[in-house]
């Protein structure tokens, strides 16, 4: 059972605004192309002011990468809310699929034109740099949640970072695979399969290993 408290109304409203801005940025860039979209366009699509946009994101690239990073942070939040001793593998797979492929089934095939537009967007150098920076922070949050759930240390033990890196790799490979072919394929089944394969080789540690100095 989750022990994470639900956000208050103010925090929920802020999340909704942030999500709306991120979604608007993705939609506009995939519709018009990177250079044809401004911060003002994104704010207008989300029905807020440019000033409000800048309260949430410093740039167009940050708004787009925020959608990906926020999903990973919500996965970490879900894990952090689990009771100690909960099954990490099952909870992790369900949380990642729920965030990155909600409601996705074998019949949920992406539109080829949109898939092509997303590929072009993801190839934008400014976005790649922002994604790398923000993803590193999200990966650390996920590692911390894994450490808390497994009784390991996010800094001194490799296990939490391995799990976080494996999740990120599974998501990245799935996106590339599902959008990269001549005929796009649904993300849900591919992502779940990738996560199951990776996590099968990451058995939860029985205890945190002792460091070379002999301290626990």
For 144-164, give the secondary structure using H, E and C: HHHHHHHCCCCCCCCHHHHHH
pLDDT at 216: 46
Q: Which of 24, 15, 23, 8 minimizes the C-alpha distance to 56?
A: 15
pLDDT at position 179, please? 82
How far from chain centre, in Å, is Cα 149?
A: 19
- The alpha carbons of the chain give a radius of gyration, in whole angstroms, of 19
Q: Which helix (H) or strand (E) holds 93?
A: helix 88-100
pLDDT in tens, 120-148: 999 999 999 999 998 898 999 999 999 99
Q: Are 99 and 174 in contact (CB under 8 A)?
A: no
For the chain, helix, strand, coil in percent to 5 are 70, 0, 30
Return the closest-CA partner of residue 57 out of 95, 17, 115: 17
d(CA 125, CA 171): 20
- All CATH 1.10.10.60 domain ranges in the chain, comma separated: 7-57
For helices 125-150 and 112-122, the axis angle rounded to 10 degrees is: 90
Task: Give the helix/strand (H/E) hosting 26.
Answer: helix 9-32
What is 7-57's CATH topology?
Answer: Arc Repressor Mutant, subunit A (1.10.10)
What topology does CATH give the domain 60-199? Tetracycline Repressor; domain 2 (1.10.357)
Domain with CATH 1.10.357.10 in the chain: 60-199
Return the pLDDT at 1: 45
Q: Which helix (H) or strand (E) holds 70?
A: helix 60-80
Q: What is the pLDDT of residue 107?
A: 52
pTM of the model: 0.80
**Parts of the chain with a pLDDT under 70:** 1-7, 104-110, 181-183, 206-216
pLDDT of res. 8:
82
């Amino acid at each position: 059972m989750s022990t994470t408290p639900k956000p208050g109304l103010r925090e929920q409203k802020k999340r909704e605004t942030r999500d709306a801005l991120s979604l608007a940025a993705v939609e506009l860039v995939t519709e018009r192309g990177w250079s044809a979209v401004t911060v003002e366009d994104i704010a207008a699509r989300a029905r807020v002011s440019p000033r409000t946009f800048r309260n949430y994101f410093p740039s167009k690239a940050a708004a787009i990468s925020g959608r990906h990073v926020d999903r990973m942070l919500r996965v970490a939040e879900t894990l952090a809310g689990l009771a100690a001793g909960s099954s990490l593998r099952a909870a992790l797979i369900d949380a990642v699929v729920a965030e990155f492929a909600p409601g996705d089934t074998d019949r949920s095939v992406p539109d080829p034109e949109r898939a092509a537009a997303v590929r072009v967007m993801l190839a934008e150098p400014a976005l790649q740099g922002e994604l790398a920076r923000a993803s590193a922070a999200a990966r650390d949050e996920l590692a911390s949640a894994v450490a808390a759930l497994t009784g390991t240390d996010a800094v001194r033990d490799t296990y939490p970072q391995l799990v976080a890196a494996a999740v990120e790799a599974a998501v990245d490979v799935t996106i590339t695979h599902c959008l990269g072919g001549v005929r796009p394929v649904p993300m849900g089944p591919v992502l779940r399969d990738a996560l199951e394969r990776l996590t099968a080789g990451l058995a939860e540690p029985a205890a945190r290993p002792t460091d070379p100095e002999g301290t626990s």
